Amino acid sequence: MTKSPKSGSLQLGRATRLPDKPETAVLDRVPNPHADTDYVARFTAPEFTALCPITGQPDFAHLVIDYVPGRWLVESKSLKLYLASFRNHGSFHEDCTVRIGKRLRDLLKPRWLRIGGYWYPRGGIPIDVFWQSGRLPKGVWVPDQGVAPYRGRG
């Protein structure tokens, strides 16, 4: 579900209930005041949680979302609520990461978007998932996502 600022229903500045699941979460978008300029916007969610769809136990990840906006920006409160809606949702690491990337791509129609899902070990194996949409515009600087590979105690 998506709402634009034209509908007057932005979640920003209002008390908003945490969505029960990602499918019912509302993502808001706002006009990009610099739509004529290529630049990177980054969101980092170092405490992302979802549930293992098999065991129901929590899985934890550090998500980094980079995008070059076009006409739209994602409104950060709605993104925070959307990401939190995974907290009680059963889904594999790959599904969570790619689903978030595709939802943002469909909402924003960015010039470029990438998401890195750096998942903490489950069963002794960390899983990192990366997805991107589009091609990075020429001349745009994108910093490293800054998340070190998992090393455990080593």
Residues marked active site are found at 52, 59
Write the DSSP assignment of the chain as a string of letters: -EE-GGGT--STTS--PPPSSGGG--EEEEE-TTTTS---EEEEEEEEEEE-TTT--EEEEEEEEEEE-SSEEE-HHHHHHHHHGGGG-B--HHHHHHHHHHHHHHHH--SEEEEEEEEPPBTTB--EEEEEEE-PPTT--------PPP-TT-
